Amino acid sequence: MKTILLPTDFSLAAKNAARYAMHLAKEMRANLKLCNAVMLPVEIPLAGHVSVPIVAIETLEHDTEEKLKHLAEKMSELDQLETANDTYHPLVAYGAETGSVTGVVKSFMTDHNISLVVMGTKGAGGLSQFLLGSSSRAMVEAATFPVLFVPPEASYNKIIKIAFATDLSKQDIAVIHVLASFARTFNAEILLVHISNQLPDSQMSSKKKIDEFLNEITNNVNYHKIYYQHVLDEIVDEGLDWLSKYGQIQMLAMVHRKHDLLYRLFNGSRTQKLRRKIDIPLLVFPPDCLNKVL
């Protein structure tokens, strides 16, 4: 049985991500696992000697477990009210560990049968906050597993089309294979999107690269609902902005690889210039997806 891991800090953004994850789990016939990273309390010096925690770690862990239990019960109760008895109802488990968010998430991924991490983003919304937020950035840098970031404004809509932003790297083919297994659950289309400042027909080399990439997809990915679209734009993030607004997509997917599209978005000055909210979920894959199944 697949399990979706849902890190939560009990904020409104995290609760919205929980609602989204519940809908996703029902579609995937997966269970949910709530987790919280219990942060070490502030320590104070005592007369120049040792430092002691203000609140005992055991008390913090107990209180967190109680909050997680309450949230899990509320999620299950709401699911029972909203969904017919004869349909699939995800089991909602929970657990807490002491440490950083990325450390705790990686620990849960190792010790449990987790296929996907879903977490909320905070702030002004969407991709803008994802790109600028330090917590999201740290998670992407540390993740060896797919992570779905849900903006605070996002509500669950039936997944009909997923856009995958690609630079036509052959390394993306393994990721697209994994994405296809995810899309197949929803019978959703995959739209392969290449953003560049030149039309493919203007250069024979570009057209050849596109043709070779699509042939590799046809030969290696067994999914019939994959399409290709070129987006003409000088700036990559503005092309993504346009795609989210006019592309009629319910999810945007990328792979995070050093010095590729997502890396440049994180580290370039362009990340400060996003003008509109992008309020659809963003699915980020690690570069090594050969053994990942969603």
Map out the domains of the chain as residue ranges. Answer: 1-120, 154-281
pLDDT of amino acid 289: 64
Whether the domain at 1-120 and the domain at 154-281 fall into the same CATH topology: yes
Q: Please give the Cα distance from 21 to 18 (Å, whole number).
A: 5
**CATH number assigned to the domain covering 1-120:** 3.40.50.620
pLDDT of amino acid 116: 92
Residues 6+ apart with CB under 8 A from 110: none
Query: What is Dmax (Cα atoms) for the chain?
Result: 74
Q: Please give the Cα distance from 274 to 265 (Å, whole number).
A: 11
pLDDT of amino acid 277: 53
pLDDT of amino acid 246: 65
| HSE toward the beta carbon, residue 68, CA cutoff 13 A | 23
pTM (two decimals): 0.83
pLDDT of amino acid 238: 63
Tens of each residue's pLDDT in the chain, 294 residues: 789 999 999 999 899 999 999 999 999 999 999 999 887 655 444 455 555 455 567 788 889 999 999 999 999 999 988 888 888 999 999 999 888 888 888 888 877 778 899 998 875 444 544 444 566 667 777 778 899 999 888 899 899 999 998 888 888 999 999 999 999 999 999 999 887 766 655 555 678 888 899 999 999 999 999 999 887 655 555 666 666 666 688 998 988 876 555 555 544 433 333 334 567 898 988 877 655 667
| HSE toward the beta carbon, residue 67, CA cutoff 13 A | 17
Q: Please give the Cα distance from 100 to 97 (Å, whole number).
A: 9
Domain range 154-281, its CATH number among 3.30.310.50, 3.40.50.620, 3.30.565.10, 2.170.150.70: 3.40.50.620
Range list of β-strands (E), the chain: 3-7, 31-38, 43-45, 51-53, 92-98, 114-120, 147-150, 161-165, 189-196, 226-232, 251-255, 282-285
pLDDT of amino acid 266: 47
Q: Please give the Cα distance from 116 to 109 (Å, whole number).
A: 9
pLDDT of amino acid 286: 84
Instruction: Report the 10 Å Cβ neighbour count for 82.
Output: 10
